[in-house]
Every structure is written in structure tokens, then in C-alpha cells.
Structure 1
Amino acid sequence: MQEPDLSDLKAFVAVTQARGFRHAASTRGVSASSLSEAIRRLEQQLGVRLLNRTTRSVTPTEAGQRLYERLAPAFGEIATALDAVNLFRESPTGTLRLNVPSIAAREILPALISRFLAAHPGITVDIGSNDTFIDILAAGFDAGIRYDERLERDMIAVPIGPRVQRFVAAAAPSYLATRGTPRHPSELVNHACIGHRFDSGVLATWEFRRGAEVVRIEANGPLIASVIELERGAAIAGLGIIYSFDEFLRPAIDSGQLVPVLEAWWQSFSGPFLYYPSRTHMPGPLRAFVDFILEKNGSESKDTA
């Protein structure tokens, strides 16, 4: 039997971890077809099926699961051994893989990443952006950014970005001139509300708070989207009221394209955290990024265990 190629074994581990070819391909920066060909070649060389494939899922066979359970720790040890070499460099090298929500990708990371990469030219940062909570380790990421209520309990969390954020409601002057300005969140049921759908398919609920009173509204209007630029453009065009991150809407509000509404009810919440597994031997690129963030904000990490 021909000895399997190491890259094919890595492809198998990646697909098994991600439970799919497309997800694994995006994580590794290759095409799904190349991973499929690698698995086909590996199965042919070993003479056994390793993965069960359907249109909806990819799961390991019994043989595949046993192979994965042996390979995954082995590749982890190799990565740790190679990363130890970074201790002898002035600046670590390698790839830092981050999974972040769209708000962080747009408003928080650009300035941070440019400064970080300038300080560490040997590091490549690979960022995947989505608003669905995932298992970052299974998906092949080193760390992620999420908000406090979405953090896993066995993770280490470091504050990153603004420590307080808020949702704001706004509408175009033309819309308010035609439909009037709501004075209480309950009045929104009679207004056109531009909805936001998360990557998971769930429609965002609008939550307003003033003192002890909390009002939740299901957005009902002419547009539901998952792209904030489209939602914001619709609001500026006068199609309805939008409720989103202050950072997204602030330029349009400051320019007068949008007018704030229900300001007394806007909800504030704590800012995001960089989170990662509690590991004794952190990869060099991740260790460098954590140190960079801690030095920048001068704060201590928070253990969520």
C-alpha cells in the first residue's frame, strides 16, 4: 500500500473537524474540490471509506472516526512543536485565524489589525466573518470575538474594542414627515421596520429598555436583509425605521440622512471580547495578538470558567 501524503491526511482532519468541504475549504484557503480530491485519493490508498457524504452533511465512518482520533492530536503536537521555534525569533511567524461577527470586522478590527501586522510582519491574519456562534476549534480557528452572553464558559476572554456599545433607532426625515415619529416602542407595530436576519436564519428582535420597562418588537416592514449596508440604504431612502449598532448608523445620523428616534429607549450593552481556549502552550501568533490587545487596553483578561 502506498503511504498516504501528509497533505491529504491534513485535508481529512480539516474536513472532519468542519463537518463539511466548503467550510473546511474556506478555513484552509483552498477549493472544496481540491479537498474532495484529497479525500478520494486517501480513501483509495487506504482501501476504506472514511467519510459519509450527503447533500446536507459530512460525517466520519467508524474507520474515519478512529483515524481522526489518532491524527488530530498528532497534528496538534506537530503544530505545537513547530510553534516552539517561534520562541527563538524576535517576532513570531505563522497564521492567526480569527472568527468574528460583522460588527467587529467592520468597526473594530481594521485599525487594530493594521497596527498588529505592522508590529509583527511575520504573521498572517486569516479572518472569517459571520454572525452565527460556532465552535471555533472545530472550525479550525485559533480565537474568536463575541459578546459576553455568547461566550463559552471554558474560554479565556480579553476585552477588545469599545467597552460599551448600543443599538440606536433612526429613520429618514422624509419617512418621519410622512408617517410621524413614534414616541413609544409599542407604536412601532404601526410603522415600517427594516428587519435584520442573522446568518443562522433567525430574525433579530428589537429590544428597547427604559428603567425597568422592556419592550420587544418583531420587525415588520418592506425589507428584511442580512447585509447592513442594504438595510441602512433602505432607511436613508425613506423606506422605514432601522434599529442597529450605533457605529453603523452614526455617519448617516451625523450627516442628517437619518434622524434618531426613541432615544430614551436605546439599549446599551458591554463591548466584545477576544476569546480563546485555555491552553498551556498558545500558538505564537495568538500569544502575540493577546499581548498586543492587553497592552493596548491595559486590562486584565477575564476567565469565563
Structure 2
Amino acid sequence: MADMDLADLDAFAAVALARSFRGAAMKRGTSASALSEALRRLETRLGVRLLNRTTRSVTPTEAGQRLLERLAPALGEVAAALDAVNDFRDTPTGTLRLNVPTIVARAVLPRMLGEFMRRHPGITLEIVGHDSFIDVFAAGFDAGIRYDESLERDMIRVPLGPRTQRFVTAASPAYLAEHGRPAHPDDLLRHACIRHRFDSGNTPRWEYEREGESVTITPAGPLVATAMEMQVQAAIEGLGIIRSFEEFLAPALAGGVLERILPEWEEAFSGPYLYYSSRRHMPAPLRAFVDFLKGPQGRW
């Protein structure tokens, strides 16, 4: 076993953790067929089946699970050892994989990534916009970005971007002229509302607060969509009332094609945080990004 190919062992761990050849291939920038061939070589060398494969799932066998439990920490140590070489370079190299909410990918990160990448030309960024709550580390990401209420307590968090954000409710002038302007959040129950659906299938309720009074409604209307651009355009077309991040609606509000309603009910909330596990080795690209965020360019 002394001549066992480390790359084949690494391929097995990637597929076993992702529970998918295709998913592992996407994260590693290779092909599913290459990973399948690596696994075939490894199983042949060991003389035991490591993964159960069906058309719908990939799961470790008992032997595969036992190997994975011992192998994953060892591969982590190998990665950490190789990453230590970065300390001897003028600028770190490697890939930084981030899982972020859609709003952050579209309205926050673009304002800072240009400067970060100019400072660190050896770093490749892989950013996946995702609004569902997942175990980002099990999915192969180095870190995630989320809002305060959804962060685990044992995570290290670093503020980035705007430290205060808010949700804004708006409608087109034509819609308001035809249907009237709501004066209280309860009035929204008599209006057509354009709703957001997360990747998980959840459609959030709309929450408002003013001077100690809290109101939560379950809106109804003609459109439910995951794509924010579709929701904003529908509101501009006069199909209903929209509620979303101020950053998403700012261009339409500035252009006068949407009008802010119920502004006195807007409640500010804390901006996003980068988070990562305190129990994991911090790769050099992630360390460089954390240092960058702690500077003035990391928040506004």
C-alpha cells in the first residue's frame, strides 16, 4: 500500500463527502468521469467496494465510511502542510471558495472584490450565491457569508459590507394610482403582493415594526419567484407591491419607476458577516481575505 496514489484517495474523499460525482467534480474543477476512474483504481487496489452508486445517490459502504473517517483529517493535514508554503511567498496563492446569499453576491461583494483581487493576483475566487441554509464546510467551501441570526455560535465572524441594512416596501406610481397607497402594514392584505421564494421553498412573511408595535403579515398576490430581477420588473410593470432589500430596489426608486411606501415602518438590521470554523485550518487565501475585510475597504 506504500505506493497508494494520494490523488485517488483525495478523489474518493471528495465524492464521499459530496455524495455525488457531479457535485464533487464541480467543486474540484474536474470531470465526473475522472473522479469515477480514480475511484475505480482505488477500489481495485484495495480489493473492496468503497461507495454504493445508484442513479440517484452515492453513499459510502461500511468500509468506505471507515476509510473516510480516518482519511479526511489526514488529507486536511496534508492540505495545511502544503498551504504553509504560502507563508514564504510575497502574496498567497490558491482558491478561496465562498458560499454567500444572493443579496451579498449582487450588491455587496462586487464593491470590494476588485481591490482584493488586485492585491492578491495569485488567488482564485469561487463564489456561489445560495439562499438556503447548508453546511458550507461539508459542501467544500472555505467560508460562508450570512446574517447574524443564522450564524452558529461557535463560528468566527468578521463584519463585511454595510453594517446596517433594511427592507423596503415599494410599488409603481401606476399601481398606487389605481389601488391606493397602504397606510398601515395590515392594508397590504388587501393588495396584490409580489413574493420571494427561497431555494428551500420557503416564502417569508413580511415583518414590520414602528415605535414598539410589531406587525407580521402573510402576503398574497399574482407572482412568487426566486429571481429578484423578475420581481422588481413585475413591480415596475404595476403587477403588485414588492418588499426587498433596499440595495435591490435602489435603482428603481432613484429612477422614479417605484415609490417607497410605509417608510416609517422600515426597521434596520445588522449587515452580513463572513464566518468560518474556529476548529479548521485557515487556508492562506481565506486568511488574506479576512485581513482585507478588517481594513477600511471591508465595510461601509
TM-score for both structures, normalised by structure 2: 0.93
> What is the letter of the counterpart of residue 113 of structure 1?
L
Tell me what 1:202 maps to.
202
> Could you tell me how far apart the structure 1 residues matched to 2:87 and 2:3 are?
33
Q: CA deviation at 1:122?
A: 0.9
Q: In structure 2, do the counterparts of structure 1 residues 78 and 2 end up closer, same or farther at CA, with 3 Å as the change threshold?
A: closer
Distance change in 2, residues 1:157/1:240 (3 Å):
same
Partner of 1:30: 30
Give the Cα separation in 2 of the matches to 1:220 and 1:118.
46
Q: SS of the residue aligned with 1:208?
A: strand
Partner of 1:103: 103
How many residues end up aligned between the 2 structures? 299
Q: How far does residue 78 in structure 1 lie from its aligned partner after superposition?
A: 0.9
The corresponding residue for 2:219 is 219
Look up the equivalent residue of 2:282 and give its one-letter code: M
Letter in 1 for 2:91: S
How far residue 55 of structure 1 moved from its aligned partner, in angstroms, is 5.3
Q: What's the counterpart of residue 192 of structure 2?
A: 192
State the AA in 2 paired with 1:219: P
Tell me which residue corresponds to 2:78.
78
In 1, Cα distance between equivalents of 2:296 and 2:251: 26
Shift of 1:40: 4.1
Taking structure 1 as reference, are residues 264 and 55 closer, same or farther at Cα in structure 2, changes over 3 Å only? farther
CA RMSD of aligned residues (A): 2.1
Alignment check: 8 A CA contact 1:2 1:45 kept: no
**Contact 1:208 1:266 (C-alpha < 8 Å) held by counterparts:** yes
1:14 is aligned to 14
* Structure 2: gaps of 5 or more residues: none
- For the 8 Å contact 1:168–1:267, the answer to whether it is kept is no
Matched, 1:177 2:194: no
How far 1:179 moved relative to its partner? 1.2
Matches within 5 A, 1:56-205: 57-205=57-205
Q: Which runs of 5+ in 1 are unaligned?
A: 300-305
Q: Which amino acid aligns with 2:219?
A: A
SS of the residue 1:204 aligns to? coil
Q: CA deviation at 1:132?
A: 1.0
Q: Is residue 2:282 matched to residue 1:247?
A: no
Q: Deviations over 1:248-294 (max 9, x none)?
A: 00110010010111111112110000111114742111111100110
Identity %: 64
